[in-house]
Amino acid sequence: MKKLYRLQEDKKIAGVCAGLGAHFDMDPVLFRIIFIVLFMASGIGILIYLVMWVLVPLQKEVLVKTVNGRKKLYLSVSNKKIAGVCGGLGEFFAVDSVFFRVGFVVLFLAAGIGLALYIMMWMIIPKTS
């Protein structure tokens, strides 16, 4: 049986999302987005995160940074204009990063959330190591 641990090496705050990503063989960015959406929608995301921070033990040994050989989403170092979010998305999905840049601008102009979404992704997507 696979155990759930918080991971030290890929953490942003406490390693909860990194541990969930490793446990479910998924990118931890997905779990970070879920917690942020739950926090913004009802505030329950912060409570769940804090409970998991207290209850889930910290992994002592360092794990491999890939998830079953699949690539992970990182901020781009080579294709960045501001922080590398769009470049990283482009590299991950193997499409031109211009599509993501245009998408963020359209979301900013149409709904006003493009800038907030970009900043949020900047904070939760890890840098390459």
pTM for the model: 0.54
Site of tokens 């063989």: 25
Mean pLDDT for the chain overall? 81
Report d(CA 27, CA 124) in Å as an integer.
11
Three-state SS sequence of 4-40: CCECCCCCCCCCHHHHHHHHCCCCHHHHHHHHHHHHH
Q: Percentage of the chain with pLDDT > 70?
A: 90
Q: Where are the domains of the chain?
A: 16-55, 71-129
pLDDT reading at 85 higher than 60: yes
Q: Which residue has the higher pLDDT, 69 or 101?
A: 101
Q: Percentage of the chain with pLDDT > 90?
A: 0
pLDDT digits (tens, 9 = 90+) for 43-75: 888 888 888 888 888 876 544 445 556 678 888
Predicted local confidence at residue 70, as pLDDT: 67
